[in-house]
Structure 1
């Protein structure tokens, strides 16, 4: 049994969840873990001097629990409830490969996760488009006036800059303004290449 762990990170409202769900429907033995499921309750999230709840930082998340969940999945993906029906064109040599997509806004700045990724993708958006999309979403708690400019966008830039400055971090940056179909086609093809590499490895082992 082999496991591929795919990171799908990036900007808020960049299309991470939609892309992850579409990939899950197209890939064999695929499951998703979402970072949003590990937010601390509002009472445990710090508030700054402006009254902004600091949700877009690592301290707002139970990251240790997230790492544990991912590691548990890797140890036993078949027991996680993942659907094991493969597309008809799935090669016999990769039918025992399980794929985990981890999607979230802040994945690659937490060191314990960095040894787990097989592929890392990072969705980006320009400021105006991101702000426009953010306005169309309903959050609990709701964004307070100035929250996007005062907290959300600065934190996105901070963590994105950290990634770009880390020369050892292999991240594939995706333009979130492209169509969902274009993004899906690119990432799906890239993951299929990873599966083909596993097929070749398995053929060499069995030869």
Structure 2
């Protein structure tokens, strides 16, 4: 049994979920663990000096729980998928290859998680496009006035700088390119790695 863990990070509204869902639909024996599902309750997220909720920090996330899920998959991906109804109960594990897609805005900033990735992708878009896309999204709770300029974008720059100190093995993707072009390029990249591992399994 062979495994690949793919990290899909990036700026808010950069296309992380779209890319992750596309890969999941195209890749056999794959699943997604999304960082956004591990946010702590709103009332425990601290407020900064400007009155902005500090969502864009690792402290706002249940990273221990997320790591448990990733480790559970890594220990037995076949059983992980079976429990979630993503594969048949009687399916074989012989010579199978499994792919985990981990998606989130701070996945490369958490060192224990970052060290588990075999492949890393980061979607980036410029400030003006990001601000426009963010303004069109509906959040719960909604963004307060000046939240993007006063908190979200400055924290993105800070978190990105920290991320680049932690690892240099990241493929940066231009989120302004045609969506189909970006999706196809990443899929081809991962497909080549899958093929390489499958060849290895036959020769060892």
Q: CA deviation at 1:203?
A: 2.4
Tell me the distance in 2 between the aligned counterparts of 1:200 and 1:84: 23
With over 3 angstroms needed to count, the CA separation of the structure-2 counterparts of 1:82 and 1:10, relative to structure 1, is farther
Tell me the distance in 1 between the aligned counterparts of 2:180 and 2:2: 28
Indicate the residue corresponding to 2:91 in structure 1: none
Tell me the distance in 2 between the aligned counterparts of 1:138 and 1:32: 23
Tell me the alpha carbon deviations over residues 121-150 of structure 1, each in whole angstroms, 9 at most, x when there is no partner: 001010000000001100011000110011
Tell me the distance in 2 between the aligned counterparts of 1:160 and 1:82: 36
Tell me the distance in 2 between the aligned counterparts of 1:66 and 1:6: 15
Question: What's the secondary structure of 1:173's corresponding residue?
Answer: strand
- For residues 156-167 of structure 1, what are the structure 2 equivalents within 5 Å? 156-166=156-166
Tell me the distance in 1 between the aligned counterparts of 2:26 and 2:152: 32
Compute the RMSD of aligned alpha carbons.
1.6
- 2:86 counterpart of 1:83: yes
Tell me, which stretches of 5 or more residues in structure 1 are unaligned? 86-93
Indicate the residue corresponding to 2:151 in structure 1: 151
Tell me the alpha carbon deviations over residues 97-136 of structure 1, each in whole angstroms, 9 at most, x when there is no partner: 0111000011111111122101000010100000000011
Indicate the residue corresponding to 1:34 in structure 2: 34
Tell me the distance in 2 between the aligned counterparts of 1:47 and 1:118: 35
**TM-score after normalising by structure 2:** 0.91
Tell me the alpha carbon deviations over residues 69-112 of structure 1, each in whole angstroms, 9 at most, x when there is no partner: 10001112222336349xxxxxxxx9600111000011111111
Aligned residues: 196
Give 4+ residue runs of structure 1 displaced > 4 Å after superposition. none
Indicate the residue corresponding to 2:56 in structure 1: 56
Indicate the residue corresponding to 2:170 in structure 1: 171
